[in-house]
Every structure is written in C-alpha cells, then in structure tokens.
Amino acid sequence: MFQSYLKFRDHCRVCGANFKAADAGDGPAVFIILIVGAIVTPLLIILQFGTPLPDWLALTITMIAAIVLCLALLPPFKSVLFALQWKHKAREATNEDIQ
C-alpha cells in the first residue's frame, strides 16, 4: 500500500485501484496527537515525581518516547483512515454536491 514511509502508491498492486485521490489529510495526526499525548504526559509526571531521575533525563526519555510513538503510529493510522475513506467512498465536497 505504501510506496515509502507515508506515501501511498499510485495504484493498488493487486487490483489496480487508483490511489491518487487518497488523502487522509490531518486525520491521522490528530488521532496520534491525542493518543501519544495521553501516553507521554503521565509518563513524564511519573518519571519526574516517582523516580529519582534528574529532570533533564526524564524530559529526554519522554521526548524520545513521544517521537518514537508518533513515527510508529503514523503509518497504521494513515492506513486505517484511508481504508475507511475508501470503504465509505468519502471525497472532497464540491459545489455540485450542494446544488
């Protein structure tokens, strides 16, 4: 499905479906901000107040966890949102849709 890390192929390799119109937009990023934020915020609080780690180390661990989680979750979330878009034939609304 992916040509590179987050870039979809132009066509499906199995059935030849056209993926050029595929655009999940900001959808995956919004979900990931909410999910990763809910994970790393308690992590930072626990590391800062529940362990004897220095603040700079707790912050560094949290930042690395946030970056790794975001990079790991982006492709699957983009895939799921694309699949939902494809299934429900979602597309950009045009002027013709409201007439």
Site for Zn ion, rule CB under 5 A: 12, 14-15, 17
- Closer residue to Zn ion (CB): 14 or 21: 14
Cβ atoms 48, 62 nearer than 8 A: no
Supply the minimum distance, in Å, between the C-beta of residue 17 and Zn ion: 5
What are the Cα distances from residue 75, in Å, to 27, 35, 89?
12, 14, 21
- Closer residue to Zn ion (CB): 15 or 21: 15
- Closer residue to Zn ion (CB): 12 or 71: 12
> 């979330």: which residue's tokens?
77
